[in-house]
Amino acid sequence: MIGIVIVSHSKQLALGVRELAAQMVQGQVPIAVAAGIEDPENPLGTDPIQVYEAIASVFSDDGVLVLMDLGSALLSAEMAIEFLPEAQQQKVYLCEAPLVEGAIAAVVAAAAGRDIHQVMAEARGALLAKATQLGVISRPLSTITPATTNVESPTREIRLIVSNRLGLHARPAAQFVATAARFQSQILVRNLTRNTELVRGDSINQVTTLGVRQGHELLITATGSDADEAIAALQTLFANNFGEDNVALNSPPAFHHEVTPATHGELSGIAASPGIAIAPVVHYQPTHISITEYHVDDPDAEWQRVQAAINTARQEIQAIFSQASLQIGDAEAAIFDAQLLFLEDPVLLEAAHQRILENHINAEAAWQAVVDEVATSYRTLEDSYLQERVDDVVDVGQRVLRLLAGNAAANLHLESPAILVATDLTPSDTAGLDPTKVLGICTTSGSATSHSAIIARTLGIPAVLGVDAQVLHLADGTLMALDGESGRAWVEPESHILDLLAVKQSAWQTAQQEARATAHQPAITRDGRQVSVFANIGSINDVQVAVASGAEGVGLLRTEFLYLDRTSAPTEEEQLAVYQAIAQVLDNRPLIIRTLDVGGDKPLPYIRVGFPEANPFLGWRGIRFCLDHLDLFKTQLRAILRASVGHQIKIMLPMIATVTEVRAAKAILSEVQAELNQAGISFDAAMKVGIMVEVPSAVAIADQLATEVDFFSIGTNDLSQYVMASDRTNPRVANLVDALHPAVLRMVQQTIQAAHTAGISVGLCGELAADTLATPILLGLGLDELSVNPQGIPGVKQAIARLSIVESEAIAASALQQDSAVHVRELISTSITPPA
């Protein structure tokens, strides 16, 4: 049996790693520790004799793998080998793999009976092993090969016209590839309009570079046992217009360009996101990754490094997608679906694999070469829109390269508000910006239709792109002004420019306020039914925007922001201060606080899980997590109760699946109330308790749950993916996750009926609430409250005012009888009566 030796300066660290690794294989693999020194005052260090003894204690002819941290640990390990007999020295291998992950990967491989070279390769590709345990991949990427054609396999073909406004841009292309990849048949596609060659339908890059625009005709062939099913599925995608309505959700605004003479310090650029910004500049420069090509003796190990980096990149992009969904909505966050598919593109992966195997070059050089080839293929397209997709290729390519190089992710932390100046921003960069700190964006490249520009407009950050490169030489702190409507920027603007911009900014704000004026009125239908419109928020800043946008309260306060990105849980006092501050801004409007909804897909770094979850969305999260961590749960409940004095605060429990969970949570709440009473601490004893309905089982027993709580709030984001059995972060099935599907709508109807029968109110806080296309259905189903992102409040209130309950009920009844989300949308678009 192969032995493992862990060498570290810290004995506690090494023992912890050994304990963790041993648990992974139930002690099947011999693991020795050589760590620390016998000096009570300064125990950190390494001793070559200890390392020698550790190696000897686990030595076998199968070999010994030594993992170590940096500095003297490496020197001690090298010296220890010299003490061994020469025959044994040849069977001891020092490995540069990460200590913790490497040890786990190595023991798993050793327990599986692999030889020393395979064990070392597994250790080097440690993150791949972690990803495999988490179920991130289902098959090694290196085995992806095109389907073979034989005479017994039927071939089917179809010609289809593309009707999407922007053709097969990133999101439709991602859906096409995800659909094609579901079938065993080989899918080939050709753009007849452009007379291109046939390309593989399971390659995101090859499909995108066909340059498919609206009106183009495609020839699609499928060869294999399920060819008919594949063609039918693709035909449905086209028939459904890829879920798009051909109305630009965030198309470049039609800016009015003022023709005025240039002034001192003025820079002209591209108007990309409207608004005025005046602030000091701060330069953003992503970390440059320098790549050197070199010869490798073990190409398999290099390929495993690529796979490990790809799987880590996938997890990072999925995290960005989840955060972006909350901040900019699922529609715009879907930009990152294409990035996920880029990582699974078999053509690109096979090219990288081939370069490594045939040329014996390192992973970084091979990956960079294939990414450059793909980027070049985008740049040479005649279609300017598709040329801009190179930003996404470079974005995801650099992410993998950074992981291969072992570089930390670049984080932008601004101490005070500023205008960000950069050569360019990737979609990932832009999605991570804080609009309260980044007041404007000024870059030397980019375009108004780039994904970064789309995200900037969604975030409401003014942006001027494509300005002269001299802006890159400005010192941080230099005052800049920019006008995202006219596409101009000024360096150290003169007073009269500042005055003009201040007037324009004031006019802009006035126009925005006028547009939102009706949002501060109640949302009342044409036939007199009032519907509450609340806000979903995730910070103190959000609540201020919500009130300014006309929110009548907060229907969902996501408290996760208090717990994430820190090394310990927030204290009761920290939480109390935040809850009170938010309630103060609301000025006695209702505030529904959702208790902690982490675990599984959103783990807390300071809570040791102890086991990986293959499918975290179906795992240990929400109320399940809180009931297993009573210290965290009770601390949060105490803070909420204490904040309730003088405010209209309600508690909402997430991820409820059973009546038992509700009763357990209520029992804990009663305990906390009793403790506060005993301590003489005031709270609202009549505070209402509700639950999130986001699990199908909760819908099935909604009548029972309704007798236990004071209100329901339906979370259609999660409910949709659970009803459709489709992970909304998985691009291969994300198109199935549609809250307007009749199956989901029937779940909503059933929940509302159960709630009203029990005499309790029911709201909806999922993304569907902000979709004004869905408003008539939601009104018709009888919802009492809609809770949306603050920016969506004015539009939702306007939509409600244009409808009547009578016509909404008719539309809802018809929608429930449809057989697809596409048909539901068609029904709505043809049924709404224009306002008189």
CATH of the domain at 817: 3.20.20.60
- C-beta separation of 421 from 474 below 8 A: yes
Residue 167 CA: distances (Å) to CA of 49, 170, 216: 67, 9, 8
Q: Which residue has the tokens 């630009």?
A: 248
Residue 130's pLDDT is: 44
Residue 511's pLDDT is: 62
Lowest mean pLDDT across 128-137, 150-159, 661-670: 128-137
Amino acid at the residue 741: H
My answer on whether 585 and 456 are in the same domain is no
My answer on whether 528 and 493 are in the same domain is no
pLDDT of 248 higher than 50: no
d(CA 76, CA 68): 9
Q: How many domains does the chain have?
A: 3
- C-beta separation of 606 from 569 below 8 A: yes
- CATH number, domain of 26, equals 3.40.50.510
Residue 243's pLDDT is: 67
pLDDT of 357 higher than 60: yes
701 versus 122: which is more confidently predicted? 701
Rounded mean pLDDT of 670-677?
97
Write out the H or E segment, with its range, that includes residue 535. strand 530-537
Is there a domain that residue 198 lies in? Answer: no
Is there a domain that residue 129 lies in? Answer: no
Q: Which domain holds residue 113?
A: 3-124
Q: Which residue has the tokens 């935040």?
A: 578
Joined together, the tokens standing for residue 500 give: 């003009």
- CATH number, domain of 483, equals 3.50.30.10
Q: How many CB atoms lie within 10 A of CB 89?
A: 12
Give the domain-ending residue among 85, 108, 124: 124
Residue 367's pLDDT is: 93
Q: Within 1-71, where are the H helices? A: 11-24, 48-58
pLDDT of 9 higher than 90: no
d(CA 350, CA 206): 13
Question: Whole-angstrom distance between the N-terminal and C-terminal Cα of the chain?
Answer: 82
Amino acid at the residue 534: F
Which residues, listed in sequence order, are joined to residue 537 by a DSSP beta bridge? 557
- C-beta separation of 291 from 486 below 8 A: no
My answer on whether 607 and 459 are in the same domain is no
pLDDT of 601 higher than 60: no
- C-beta separation of 96 from 150 below 8 A: no
My answer on whether 468 and 562 are in the same domain is no
Residues 6+ apart with CB under 8 A from 352: 303, 306, 366, 367, 369, 370
My answer on whether 778 and 669 are in the same domain is yes
My answer on whether 692 and 746 are in the same domain is yes
Which residues, listed in sequence order, are joined to residue 534 by a DSSP beta bridge? 787
My answer on whether 477 and 527 are in the same domain is no
pLDDT of 147 higher than 50: no
Please give the share of the chain, as a percent, with pLDDT higher than 70: 84
Rounded mean pLDDT of 575-593?
94
Residue 762's pLDDT is: 97
Is there a domain that residue 453 lies in? Answer: yes
Residue 249's pLDDT is: 39
553 versus 613: which is more confidently predicted? 553
Residue 811's pLDDT is: 94
Is there a domain that residue 240 lies in? Answer: no
My answer on whether 743 and 603 are in the same domain is yes
Q: What is the number of H-type helices and E-type strands within the chain?
A: 33, 25
In degrees, to the nearest 5, what angle opens at C-alpha 569 toward C-alphas 309 and 673? 140
Lowest mean pLDDT across 131-145, 231-245, 275-289: 131-145
pLDDT of 562 higher than 50: yes
| 403-452 pLDDT tens trace | 998 876 666 778 889 999 988 888 878 877 888 889 999 998 877 657 67
Amino acid at the residue 35: A
- C-beta separation of 51 from 4 below 8 A: no
Residue 39 CA: distances (Å) to CA of 11, 12, 69: 12, 14, 20
Residue 449's pLDDT is: 59
Rounded mean pLDDT of 168-190?
81
Q: Coil, strand, or helix at residue 736?
A: helix
pLDDT of 686 higher than 90: yes
d(CA 313, CA 370): 17
My answer on whether 597 and 707 are in the same domain is yes
Residues 6+ apart with CB under 8 A from 279: 417, 418, 419, 439, 440, 479, 480
Give the domain-ending residue among 89, 124, 159: 124
Q: How many CB atoms lie within 10 A of CB 647?
A: 19
Report the mean per-residue pLDDT for the chain: 83
Q: How confident is the model at residue 324 (pLDDT cuts 50, 70, 90)?
A: low
Q: Within 69-167, where are the H helices? A: 72-82, 86-89, 99-111, 116-124, 126-133
Rounded mean pLDDT of 3-8?
93
| 776-789 pLDDT tens trace | 999 999 999 999 98
**Sign of the four-CA dihedral 504, 506, 509, 513:** negative
My answer on whether 538 and 687 are in the same domain is yes
Q: How many CB atoms lie within 10 A of CB 817?
A: 11
Is there a domain that residue 99 lies in? Answer: yes
Residues 6+ apart with CB under 8 A from 391: 424, 426, 427, 446, 450, 451, 452
Give the domain-ending residue among 99, 124, 149: 124
Residue 317's pLDDT is: 82
Is there a domain that residue 618 lies in? Answer: yes
| 614-673 pLDDT tens trace | 677 788 889 999 999 999 999 999 999 999 999 999 999 999 999 999 999 999 999 999
pLDDT of 273 higher than 80: yes
515 versus 666: which is more confidently predicted? 666
Q: How confident is the model at residue 220 (pLDDT cuts 50, 70, 90)?
A: very high
Q: How confident is the model at residue 386 (pLDDT cuts 50, 70, 90)?
A: low
Threshold 0.85, pTM exceeds? no
| 451-504 pLDDT tens trace | 678 778 877 899 998 888 888 889 999 999 999 888 899 999 988 889 888 888
d(CA 613, CA 601): 9
Residue 577's pLDDT is: 93
My answer on whether 457 and 597 are in the same domain is no
Q: How confident is the model at residue 705 (pLDDT cuts 50, 70, 90)?
A: very high
Amino acid at the residue 237: L
800 versus 376: which is more confidently predicted? 800
Residue 330's pLDDT is: 56
Residue 571 CA: distances (Å) to CA of 279, 346, 537, 634, 659: 35, 48, 21, 11, 29
Residue 751's pLDDT is: 98
My answer on whether 470 and 529 are in the same domain is no
Please give the share of the chain, as a percent, with pLDDT higher than 90: 38
Phi and psi based region of residue 262 (left: phi greater than 0; alpha: psi -120 to 50; beta: remaining): beta
Is there a domain that residue 317 lies in? Answer: no
Residue 213's pLDDT is: 82
Cα maximum dimension of the chain: 95
Q: Within 125-195, where are the H helices? A: 126-133, 170-180
Active site residues: 451, 765
Residue 326's pLDDT is: 58
Is there a domain that residue 647 lies in? Answer: yes
Give the full edge-to-edge strand order of the sheet including 92-95: 31-35, 3-8, 64-68, 92-95
| 56-103 pLDDT tens trace | 889 998 999 999 887 678 878 888 888 888 888 889 999 888 888 788
